[in-house]
Structure 1
């Protein structure tokens, strides 16, 4: 067999082999992404805690402390049965509903929320009334049921930490967060499952939207709920100081 023919056959074999490898890799990527999806735990709404030390921030005597610190726009109401309803009429400017009765440092927080399709909100912790976005941090509240988790998905420390699972329920159903904030330690349970456990003091360089490290954020501040478009309801907001 002539050398030219041998080289031609060799090149053809290499091309066929390369095509086979490419097709095979993409096939297995397809299987991993769409067929062999990683199992997601089945969540369950956790009950509102009661007992010694727990404060109901939506009780009849505490409802007066919820304010819009951003401007004079009417953006929310609290119903007679203790549900805080954010109207979500516009995306911008960003507005907030703050519990102004007192500030908190270390605590356990239970909060339940229900979203309309496409709604966007957030639970802001240790926030400052005059600058909630950059002087506090956010546990994202977002209608993204069924989507893979990322650093901006429901349950994330917004723009920083990706939750282990996206545990959110479909729009219209109630979800629960159980959050522990002690020193720099942050633990977030969503619908009964631990999805984040991290330490802010390890974040010593600026990350995400922040110009200062998370480790330098205030150690005390207010609880706020974000109005970022789309109707959102909150209920059973209970806090226990540690």
Structure 2
């Protein structure tokens, strides 16, 4: 009887093991299938689900349609469309070398929105994403707009300047450091997201929330007062409730793709 009982247990164990193995293989096959579906989505396109949700492309991967220079009515020669990316060809002279480049903006103002894009920076490079910016004659857009920093944290001096790392990638430039600091090295793509809704602003970098703050509050005014911005524009804290999205030419090679936005 004991021998028969042991044989029965062995058989049950074998069946359970086979079932678990089959389930695991099925899960692995589903995961592999999902990964393959993600890989086949072309850059600079929207899925049907994104279209239904209200997402709109700001860059089609082949033209500069919708983009122009800050305080210009044309697309600057220092920017190019390269292999499906919107690329700034750096002068190597910082902001001072932007005669044929300069910052570019998308020619539509946005109020409450969710912006997604991917960026890649060259070694030692610096750039940024501006939002809620205003176009003022003879002014660079950073005199009016908050900036999500783009940086090679390993090589650019800004990584050790400012306060507590508030000039590293993903940070609200010179104001709030990205926490956690999860940017990828120069030459690798980073995915970012900026959400603006009724004064609440969120920066996401590579899938994680790294900055959250609230415009037009007492805390916001105190934060700005303790930064370099009042010296650039005494009214800098009065960020516009509706403004431009812009990409920075800081004199270094930088690439952007998959730029899309949804109005909230």
Question: Aligned equivalents of 2:62 and 2:168: distance in 1?
Answer: 34
Deviations 1:92-149 (A, max 9, x none): 336201111x110110010100111111000000111234112111011111159786
Higher strand share: 1
Q: Does 1:222 align with 2:222?
A: no
Confirm or deny: 8 A CA contact 2:63 2:81 kept in the other structure. no
| Equivalences, count | 194
Write out the 4+ residue segments of structure 1 that deviate beyond 6 Å after TM superposition.
146-149
Shift of 1:215: 4.9
- Pick closer, same or farther for the CA change 1:183–1:119 going to 2, 3 Å: same
- Pick closer, same or farther for the CA change 1:210–1:168 going to 2, 3 Å: same
Shift of 1:191: 0.4
Question: Aligned equivalents of 1:140 and 1:113: distance in 2?
Answer: 11
- TM-score, normalised to structure 1, is 0.72
Structure 2 spans left out of the alignment, 5+ residues: 1-42
Per the alignment, residue 66 of structure 1 pairs with 67
- TM-score, normalised to structure 2, is 0.67
Deviations 1:176-204 (A, max 9, x none): 11111112111111001111111123312
Confirm or deny: 8 A CA contact 2:143 2:236 kept in the other structure. no
Per the alignment, residue 240 of structure 1 pairs with 262
Aligned residue among 78, 83, 91 for 2:81? 78
- Pick closer, same or farther for the CA change 1:76–1:62 going to 2, 3 Å: closer
RMSD over aligned CA atoms reads: 2.5
Question: Aligned equivalents of 2:209 and 2:63: distance in 1?
Answer: 29
* More off after superposition, 89-98 vs 225-234: 89-98
Higher helix share: 2
Confirm or deny: 8 A CA contact 2:56 2:262 kept in the other structure. yes
Question: Aligned equivalents of 2:144 and 2:87: distance in 1?
Answer: 25
Question: Aligned equivalents of 1:201 and 1:92: distance in 2?
Answer: 29
Shift of 1:229: 2.0
Per the alignment, residue 21 of structure 1 pairs with none
Aligned residue among 229, 234, 238 for 1:210? 229
Aligned residue among 133, 158, 183 for 1:127? 133
Secondary structure of the structure 1 residue equivalent to 2:116: strand
Q: Does 1:97 align with 2:114?
A: no
